[in-house]
Amino acid sequence: MYVRKNLRLRVVWRLTWRSLLIFFVYNTSVCLLYGPFNVHVLDIPWQPVAMLGTAVAFYIGFKSNGSYDRFWEGRQLWGSIVNTSRVWAVRVFDFVHSPADHNGPDGPAITALHRRLLYRQVAWCNALRLHLRRQTAQLWDTEVAPFLPPNEAANAKNLSNPPTHLLRQQSVELRELSELGVLTEFRQVALMQTIQDLFNAQGGCERIKNTPFPRQYAFFSFVFVWVFAALLPLGLVEEFDSRSALGQHHVWLMVPFSVLVSWVFNVIEVVGHTSENPFENDIYDVPMTAICRSIEIDIRELLQENDLPAKIEAVDDVLY
């Protein structure tokens, strides 16, 4: 996620330099043919072009809104994951303990149990992040495995959906704790409700990831913008040529104005395109790495650990 208040010029240039170059060459060619070569057959009435521009503006605005909704829903889902992870930690501390009338585990065993349940939650957050970014094979051993028992980490790594397996393992352990008398039925149900909330958030993320933005909207948005950009100089060239008060070579002013308008329409389309898929590890995506690290720090502080990792900082104004 880009976090600087204003986009740096190099970022804007990297997004739009190809289209800007095409617009400039094309508009200059039209003006050159119309002016020095006197090919006036190129000019068309301005009014149909203006109507087309209005229609394209509505269309790409609709696409941009839809794309932003996908990004914002993804960010909301990860916000709910942060809150639910904290709720899980607090409920584990308050619910999972040896009752006074039960010959259960001693203090150190309960502390180790808390640590295992909470570390598995950190592992789930990282596993979901890698699952959404399709990075499980590359980063599992460094990002997820350290928070799990070795056998459990090795078994989950090769599954098609490791996050689901980790939540299932949490459920299995809760059932075992209930059978041992460490958890009452009410507390087991409350913890299972938290796991259900995590499943709901995971399902929402997978729905966005596995359902691409409707291609008919994305494709025709791109086509319409470039059709409009192709017709724009043909409609403007005669308009500028007819303005005799602007001077002898005023027709060349069509080039910067036409390039500017085409560039604005193209930027709106590109902005919508970059927001379509918020889990691709791009510079405009949901900063899942930073969110996972924030969850890890919160949980390990609750465990009263001192050797905490540093927060993820933005690199070149981008928070991943």
pLDDT in tens, 181-198: 888 899 999 999 999 999
CA atoms within 13 A on the CB side of 33: 13
Strand partners, 318: 2, 315
Nearby residues of 229 by Cβ (< 8 Å), 6 or more positions away: 23, 26, 262, 265, 266
pLDDT digits (tens, 9 = 90+) for 65-106: 999 999 999 999 999 999 999 999 999 999 988 765 455 555
Alpha carbon distance 295, 82 (integer Å): 6
Residue among 95, 101, 143 at smallest CA distance from 117 = 95
**Above 80 in pLDDT, residue 36?**
no
Predicted TM-score of the model (pTM): 0.88
Alpha carbon distance 26, 14 (integer Å): 20
45 — phi, psi (to 5°)? Answer: -60, 145
Give Cα separations from 181 to 105, 186, 187, 194 (angstroms): 10, 12, 11, 20
pLDDT digits (tens, 9 = 90+) for 99-143: 654 555 557 888 999 999 999 999 999 999 999 999 999 999 999
Cβ proximity of 120 and 170 under 8 Å: yes
| Amino acid 260: pLDDT | 94
pLDDT digits (tens, 9 = 90+) for 143-161: 999 999 999 999 999 999 9
**Above 50 in pLDDT, residue 231?**
yes
| Amino acid 45: pLDDT | 87
Cβ proximity of 50 and 163 under 8 Å: no
**Above 90 in pLDDT, residue 207?**
yes
Alpha carbon distance 208, 16 (integer Å): 26
